[in-house]
């Protein structure tokens, strides 16, 4: 990893942590797209997982009084099932395919709400969320918009949505790191892993962006929060679809 690429990733980390600190999503999509453009897919998965684990974990800590631990326990059950099945998967998406997935995911937010009756606060639904989100996040790098389907009908406040999404996403990114580390080392040796100095720099930058985003979150109301979130992730999805099509 050159110093220029490292610098660009760290700047993007600050910006995307700020965005995710507000909406609990979207930042990870942007960061994954940027990483896929400058490093290999396995490297992108590991770097993205490490940065997002810290960002989501810190965001969850800042909002820890809003975490529903019953929900989290059920989510973990589904995630463990996904991990067991992923042990039999041997697939690395190429970059156009990854951009296509990243572009299609945000469009899930426009599906009519009456098509889904999922509620993350229900035991069965939280288990299903853990399975689907952890599996997709591991294979594609990001799964926030899918997770949002399970939160849209819940009675959680905006702080509760961000706190619980951050906790579940931290777990999903931890799984992703473990899944991709072995293949990355086999393909490129230890050089495939991000250098220690980069991780040391990324952690406080990610935490700072998350903290700044949290200040904005507390100044928003629930209506504005959901409206801005929908249009933001849609714009991101369109950009990735254009990228997948090779338009730029």
What pLDDT, on a 0 to 100 scale, did the predictor assign at position 224? Answer: 67
Summarised one tens digit per residue, pLDDT across range 146-169 is 887 888 778 888 889 889 988 998
pLDDT of 222 strictly over 70: no
Return the top range by mean pLDDT from 70-84, 189-203, 223-237: 70-84
pLDDT of 25 strictly over 80: no
- pLDDT level of residue 124 (50, 70, 90 thresholds): very high
- pLDDT level of residue 76 (50, 70, 90 thresholds): very high
Residue whose structure tokens are 């294979």: 139
What pLDDT, on a 0 to 100 scale, did the predictor assign at position 168? Answer: 93
Task: Count the Cβ atoms, other than its own, within 10 Å of residue 121.
Answer: 19
Summarised one tens digit per residue, pLDDT across range 52-61 is 898 889 889 9
pLDDT of 26 strictly over 90: no
**Running DSSP on this structure, what letter comes out for residue 219?**
T
Token pair in block for residue 213: 């985003």
What pLDDT, on a 0 to 100 scale, did the predictor assign at position 59? Answer: 83
pLDDT of 75 strictly over 90: yes
Instruction: Look at 93 and 32; give whichever has higher pLDDT.
Output: 32
pLDDT of 201 strictly over 80: yes
Distance of CA 68 to the CA centre of its chain: 19
What pLDDT, on a 0 to 100 scale, did the predictor assign at position 29? Answer: 84
Answer positive or negative: Cα dihedral of 220, 221, 227, 229.
positive
Q: What is the distance between the alpha carbons of residues 27 and 24, in angstroms, rounded to a whole number?
A: 8
pLDDT of 200 strictly over 80: yes
pLDDT of 221 strictly over 80: no
pLDDT of 113 strictly over 70: no
pLDDT of 228 strictly over 90: no
Do residues 172 and 78 lie in contact, with contact meaning Cβ atoms separated by under 8 Å? no
pLDDT of 24 strictly over 70: no
What pLDDT, on a 0 to 100 scale, did the predictor assign at position 226? Answer: 66
Summarised one tens digit per residue, pLDDT across range 170-181 is 999 999 998 888
The reported pTM is 0.84
């Amino acid at each position: 990893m050159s110093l220029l690429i490292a610098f660009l990733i760290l700047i993007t980390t600050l910006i995307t942590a700020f965005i995710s600190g507000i909406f609990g999503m979207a930042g990870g999509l942007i960061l994954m797209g940027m990483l896929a453009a400058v490093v290999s897919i396995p490297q992108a998965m590991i770097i993205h997982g490490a940065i997002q684990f810290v960002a989501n974990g810190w965001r969850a800590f800042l909002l820890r009084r809003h975490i529903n631990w019953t929900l989290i326990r059920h989510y973990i059950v589904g995630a463990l099932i996904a991990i067991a099945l992923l042990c039999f998967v041997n697939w690395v998406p190429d970059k156009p395919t990854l951009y296509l997935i990243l572009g299609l995911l945000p469009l899930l937010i426009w599906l009519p709400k009456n098509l889904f009756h999922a509620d993350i606060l229900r035991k069965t639904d939280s288990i299903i969320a853990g399975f689907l989100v952890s599996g997709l996040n591991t294979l594609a790098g990001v799964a926030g918009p899918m997770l949002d389907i399970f939160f849209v009908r819940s009675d959680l406040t905006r702080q509760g949505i961000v706190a619980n999404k951050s906790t579940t996403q931290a777990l999903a990114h931890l799984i992703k790191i473990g899944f991709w580390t072995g293949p990355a080392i086999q393909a490129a040796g230890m050089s495939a892993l991000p250098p220690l100095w980069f991780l040391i720099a990324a952690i406080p930058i990610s935490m700072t962006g998350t903290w700044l985003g949290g200040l904005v979150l507390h100044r928003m109301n629930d209506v504005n929060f959901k409206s801005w979130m929908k249009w933001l992730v849609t714009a991101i999805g369109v950009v990735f679809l254009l990228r997948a099509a090779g338009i730029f």
